[in-house]
Amino acid sequence: MSGHAPPAGWVGRPLKRLEDPRFLRGRATYIDDLRLPGMLHVAMLRSLHAHARIARLDASAAAALPGVAAVLTGEDVARAMPPLRPLIPIPNPPRTYPLAVGRVRYVGEPLAAVAARDRATAEDAVELIRAEYERLPAAVDPERALAPDAPVLFEELGSNVLWHDTFVYGDVDGAFAAARHVVRERFTIHRYVSTALETFGVIAQVEPGTGLVTIWSNDQRPGLTSGVVAAALGVPQNRLRLLALDIGGGFGNKRKAPYLILAALLARATDRPVKYVEDRRENLAALAHAANGVMEAALALDADGRFLAIALRDVVDEGANLQNPTLHSLLKLGNIVNCYRIGAVRFEAYSVLTNKCPSGANRGIGKPAMCFAIERLVDLAARRLGRDPAELRLANFVQPSELPWETPVGASYDSGDFPATLRRALALADYEGLRAAQAAARGQGRLVGIGVAAAVEPSTSNLSSYMLATGRGGTSGVGEAALVRVELDGSVRVATGNVASGQGYPTVIAQIVADELGVTPPDVLVSPWFDSHENPWMFSSGNFSNKFSGTDTGAIVGAARAVREKILSVAAHLLEAAPADLELRDGAAAVRGAPDRRVTLA
């Protein structure tokens, strides 16, 4: 049994999730559930080659197929919009678009899009498009892509190195020179892709009278997407209405602004709403992969096994990602020293283009690879020193008495007890018993391994990674927006810029607001969707980077407390009492000690 007293309020109390009944009954609304009158459906012709020049692209037969309303090629799109804007400055940036123009640079890259009366007709039309290619050598290995004679994806750049920089914190050279021991290792990080049950989808509609572009999607980061899409379509953001419905799982890679732009261009061309939903093959091949790469790392230790410095050379394979590169590298800085007292850091990073699917966020971008690398170094150091790996970690952890702790790169560890946490884990696992069993097994000729690892997981995003890549000042954190409103009947409505994808946010939000306003969670309706014309939002709004507990809750509490102060101020006037003498409970404001002196929220 727990020794903790039950919570006095709703926060922290076990509660059946308020949002679950509609999901369990099949009453959720996903992007593919939405049907609009006259809606067309989209299919795309995609490249079968990693690198090739488009010698010929003939879509005339597809356009003539009955039921086809429009066919767009890369050349058509290039005439209809400006080039896509990278999020970091690139000297002489290549001109890229939602469809390939002149050349394809990865398997699955779309060349043409067809809008037809149904998906089957659109796919039949795609098969009628005649594409002829001149195959080109492909860059598929990030280290080989660094070579001067490697195939280059974009001639405008002159090489495949999209970005390269070195960051030094503390006296790294001095630490390695003074070290008694140095352990080194090379780590190869594989590609992977998150596979949510629901694939990416979008519906676009353009109102001919006002020019208002309305886009429904399951995009996880509408705050950033809104600006990108508006700029590409040449409309101010007040003429773009972006909505996110229920999201059927999202692990970071449900972000594809080019698809939203393409759907809107097809809607403009046809004067009809247009829907595109990936099939699973498209999702796996071309949405966004976690970047692969190579990490060469070294850890310096003194004679007592104290960690002195870490040095890392990080070569990240961005694929053909021009829009949002560098993050797989720079986010490693957030946990590069992990839980340890390490006084100096050198980080050399490369973002390298190859003929692969563009990289993107996929559940823990950059950070798991960094944690894996440093934990392997610690294991290698323990083996070198002949020390127990758990004991070596305990000796080098940041201690609770040292918190708040600022790492050499500027990350702040504000709370925690790393030694106690590891000791608790070792006790629960019966670590000593496991070691004894391991020794006995090895005496019998059986190899039994025991793994120990520690991790710091940065909570919420740190947009200063963009500052490091661009060299320009700007926001170095992340924020969220929240609206709390008490209706005339006393019920409460809440909206934020974050749409959940299964985490249980609506229930937690209802608990937070219920405590602040003296109501119950069922009295609080949390908007399940995002609407850029209705919800409060900002550039960093969205469902990403573990930011709900670290960021969103602050906005929700702040909005609820602002409403609470208004309620208390009005109630104080009506009850002729000081606001400090009032309390909110049971849907009313009452004078403490005089429960009959009360006014309800209704």
What's the order of all strands across the beta sheet hosting 588-591?
A: 582-585, 588-591, 594-600
List of residues 6+ apart from 426 with CB closer than 8 A: 390
Which H or E element spans position 589?
Answer: strand 588-591
The residue assigned the tokens 């069993």 is 437
Burial of 388 (0-12, 13-18, 19+ CB in 10 A): middle
On the CB side of 544, CA atoms within 13 Å amount to 27
Check pLDDT > 90 for residue 396.
Answer: yes
Residue ranges of alpha helices (H) inside 189-345 are: 222-233, 257-270, 280-286, 327-330
Whole-number Cα distances in Å, 253 to 204, 218, 263, 315: 20, 11, 18, 21
> What is the pLDDT at residue 332?
92
Provide the 10 A C-beta neighbour count for residue 192: 12
* 404 upstream amide cis, omega within 30 of 0: yes
The mean pLDDT value for 577-599 works out to 94
- Separation between Cα atoms, residue 155 and residue 579, nearest integer Å: 68
> What is the pLDDT at residue 342?
98
DSSP code of 5? P
Burial of 539 (0-12, 13-18, 19+ CB in 10 A): middle
> What is the pLDDT at residue 474?
62
Residue ranges of alpha helices (H) inside 473-525 are: 505-517
Beta-bridge mates of residue 311 = 298, 346
The mean pLDDT value for 152-165 works out to 95
Q: Which of helix, strand or coil describes residue 558?
A: helix
On the CB side of 210, CA atoms within 13 Å amount to 10
List of residues 6+ apart from 257 with CB closer than 8 A: 84, 219, 225, 228, 229, 232, 323
DSSP code of 405? E
| Closest alpha carbon to 289 in 369, 214, 381, 361 | 361
Beta-bridge mates of residue 484 = 494
Q: Which two tokens stand for residue 397?
A: 């952890």
- Separation between Cα atoms, residue 448 and residue 552, nearest integer Å: 44
> What is the pLDDT at residue 361?
87
C-alpha Rg value of the chain to the nearest Å: 28
- Separation between Cα atoms, residue 22 and residue 517, nearest integer Å: 26
pLDDT tens digits, 62-119: 999 999 999 999 999 999 999 998 888 888 889 999 999 999 999 999 999 999 999 9
The mean pLDDT value for 494-518 works out to 94
Handedness of CA 278, 280, 286, 289 (dihedral sign): positive
The residue assigned the tokens 């429960």 is 595
3-class DSSP string for 279-315: CHHHHHHHCCEECEEEEEEEEEECCCCCEEEEEEEEE
Sorted by where each starts, the structural domains of the chain and their CATH numbers stand as 34-136+194-286 (3.90.1170.50), 144-193+289-443 (3.30.365.10), 482-600 (3.30.365.10)
> What is the pLDDT at residue 441?
97
- Separation between Cα atoms, residue 228 and residue 57, nearest integer Å: 28
DSSP code of 145? G
On the CB side of 46, CA atoms within 13 Å amount to 18
Whole-number Cα distances in Å, 475 to 66, 169, 506: 52, 21, 28
pLDDT tens digits, 338-383: 999 999 999 999 999 999 999 998 887 888 999 999 999 999 999 9
Question: How many residues comprise the chain?
Answer: 602
Q: Which amino acid is at 126?
A: V
Residue 1's pLDDT band, with cuts at 50, 70 and 90, is very low
Check pLDDT > 50 for residue 130.
Answer: yes
Q: Which two tokens stand for residue 238?
A: 């007040």
Q: Which amino acid is at 192?
A: Y
Task: Say which residue, 472 or 440, is predicted with more confidence.
Answer: 440
> What is the pLDDT at residue 466?
67
List of residues 6+ apart from 45 with CB closer than 8 A: 110, 111, 112, 113, 114, 126, 129, 131
Q: Which amino acid is at 51?
A: H
Q: Which of helix, strand or coil describes residue 29?
A: coil
Provide the 10 A C-beta neighbour count for residue 396: 21
- Separation between Cα atoms, residue 590 and residue 602, nearest integer Å: 14
Check pLDDT > 60 for residue 3.
Answer: no
- The mean pLDDT of the chain is 94
- Dihedral angle of Cα 467, 463, 296, 409, to the nearest 10 degrees: 80
Pairing outcome for strands 307-319 and 344-353: parallel
> What is the pLDDT at residue 502?
85
The mean pLDDT value for 124-139 works out to 98
> What is the pLDDT at residue 509?
97
3-class DSSP string for 345-401: EEEEEEEEECCCCCECCCCCCCHHHHHHHHHHHHHHHHHHHCCCHHHHHHHHECCHH
Tell me the whole-structure pTM to 2 decimals.
0.93
> What is the pLDDT at residue 477?
64
Check pLDDT > 50 for residue 2.
Answer: no
